[in-house]
Structure 1
Amino acid sequence: MTPKEKWLAKAIEYFAAHGVGDASLRSIATGLGTSHRMLIHHFGSREGLLSEVVREVEARQRAALADLAVDDLPLRESWLRFWDKLVEATLIYGRLFFEFSAHAMQDRPYAQGLRNDLVAVWLPPLTEICRQSGMGPEEARAYARLSLAATRGLLFDLLLTGDRKGVDEALLLLDRLFQELVEHPADS
């Protein structure tokens, strides 16, 4: 692991625990056990560091989705395992994810790439999963967007309420809708 990768990993853990807020580069460096100069050396600026954190956290989530696509288990079982992994990651990084999402909505420079990455890059693989399950192209695209939005909403709910049982029940309802769409596709 390079020094930059080491500091990036530490920064991700730090932000997961403390959020970003308006923390200065100096206070971030202190929290990481280094100097602001070391962070400037590796990331250029506070915004550069935050940009790298955003990219890495997002890459981890896409990797988890890719694991779902190559799993040899039935789709439903793979999806439920993915949900468990997603919940585990959300309990660690969810505050960071939603904070960065808000930063993207506010057009903060280091989060500009997220405007596309938070939705657009997720839709093709989710749509393909739906299509492989037997949905038509239009239903698959619509369901992919619905499932992405609903899943994120449930994760947001979990962070606010801590009600894992409630969000799991809602996810199972989303799963039943998926099964219904696969078993009874709409007439074209």
Structure 2
Amino acid sequence: MTKRDDLTEAATDYALAHGLIGLSLRPLAAELGTSDRMLIYHFGSKDELVAAVLEASNTRSMAYIDAMAPAASLGKAVLALWATYTEHDQVQRCQRMYVEAAALGLLGREPYASSIRASNALWIRTLSAYLERSGVTATRAPGIANLIDATFNGVFLDRPLDDEAESRQIVQDLASALDRPQLGNE
């Protein structure tokens, strides 16, 4: 690993613990045992550092999905994905950072908008690959991956307002709906 790679991993750990909003180079550098100037030297700019952190966080989350065993049905795949999202602290923190970056990206702020766009494409491919391993056709997998991703993101945004039982029920309803045979495709 290069020095930049080491700094990226350490900065990702820091951002996962402290969040992206309000990220300042001096406290980050102090935590990493370096200076803000050295961070700029290795990354070129704060934006490039943030982009590297978002990419590393996304890569960590995708590794959990890639390691998941195939599910016996599409509904069970949804439930297994939800369990991974909610039971693994690392995935939860990566999802929380994704939501922060997505919110900033919606406002057009860079590097968030570009990083989230790239992350989304990789994330949907990762979810699609898991769904295919779980028996979904390659043709249907991307659309279903987008549906799952949109539902999960909505549930995550509402989680502070809803109780856990309500969140679980939404995911269970999605799993049940996706397990039903499609009309005309039976």
RMSD: 3.0
**Runs of 5+ in structure 2 lacking a partner?**
none
The equivalent of 1:117 in structure 2 is 118
User: TM-score, length-normalised on structure 2?
Assistant: 0.77
Aligned counterpart in structure 2 of residue 185 of structure 1, from 162, 168, 182: 182
- Partner of 1:38 in structure 2? 38
- Residue of structure 2 equivalent to 1:29: 29
Shift of 1:124: 4.5
Question: How far has the Cα of 1:110 moved from its partner?
Answer: 1.9
Change (3 A) 1:134 1:35: closer
Say whether residues 1:84 and 2:80 are aligned partners: no
Find the aligned partners of 2:76 and 2:107 in 1 and give their Cα distance.
37
Q: String of CA shifts for 1:133-188, please: whole Å, max 9, x gaps.
A: 45694x65543322110011122233x247333322221111101111xxx22226
What is the letter of the counterpart of residue 38 of structure 1?
M
Q: How much identity, in percent, do the aligned residues show?
A: 25
Aligned length: 181
> Which structure 2 residues correspond to residues 50-129 of structure 1 after superposition, within 5 A?
50-68=50-68, 71-75=69-73, 77=76, 79-87=78-86, 88=88, 89-127=90-128, 129=131
Native 8 Å contact 2:155 2:167 kept in 1: yes
1:63 offset after TM fit, Å?
A: 2.4
Distance in 2 between the 1:6 and 1:162 partners? 38
56-65 or 168-177, which moves further after superposition?
56-65
Q: How does 1:117-156 map to 2 (within 5 A)?
A: 117-127=118-128, 129=131, 133=135, 137=139, 140-156=141-157
Output the CA distance in 1 between the equivalents of 2:9 and 2:101: 17
Given the superposition, is the C-alpha separation of residues 64 and 18 from structure 1 closer, same or farther in structure 2, using an over 3 Å criterion? same
Structure 1 gap ranges (5+): none
